Amino acid sequence: MSKGFDIFDSTKTGSENLTRSVGHSDFTKLSGQVLRLQQLAPSWMLLGAFSWQYSFEKLLASEEFGVGGAQFGRAYDSSEITGDQGMAFKLELQKAFQPKKKYLRDVQAYTFFDYGAVWNRIPISTGSTVQDLNSLGLGIRFNVTDMISGYLEWDKPLNQEVSAEGNKDGRFFFSLSARF
């Protein structure tokens, strides 16, 4: 549970400077996430995750539930759709490999499907109170050494265009990280 308070000179509901003109700084919302990683067979895993949010008031932008980005709606930009309430889930099938090479310790191939929806207490510019999106993709995660890891992923938007791109073409994403 999260609660907003009208203290420390917070912006009041109805003020001109709100991130959403109808948002409440004195809000209450409930949210949660569940994740399960299940071994199916040696080196095969199934990941399932579900996230949700329910609000009792119209929220400010920073408190909205967003779908799109690295967790849910991976083919879309971060918080491609947002709303006062929302839910999202993903299923990911993973296959682990142990190449035992000097500069390639672990490799994991995966494929996924995800879905997310948001609900707003007042209609958005299109007149709708509900938005949803879903995507699928495949990728590979790897550990080069104990300190260097990364991934390469191809994601495909399914039911909605990526707003910034104006199409539903597949997209590549990658990351390379070093830990010290």
How long is the chain? Answer: 180
Q: Where are the beta strands (DSSP E) in 103-147?
A: 106-119, 130-143
Does residue 153 carry a pLDDT above 70?
yes
More confident residue, 50 or 101: 50
Total count of domains within the chain: 1
Does residue 69 carry a pLDDT above 70?
yes
pTM: predicted TM-score of the whole model, two decimal places: 0.84
Does residue 118 carry a pLDDT above 90?
yes
**Which structural domain range is residue 102 located in?**
2-178
pLDDT, residue 59, reads: 83
Does residue 73 carry a pLDDT above 70?
yes
Provide the Cα torsion 4, 131, 51, 142; round to 10°. Answer: -120
Band (8; pLDDT cuts 50, 70, 90): low
State the CATH number of the domain containing residue 18. Answer: 2.40.160.50
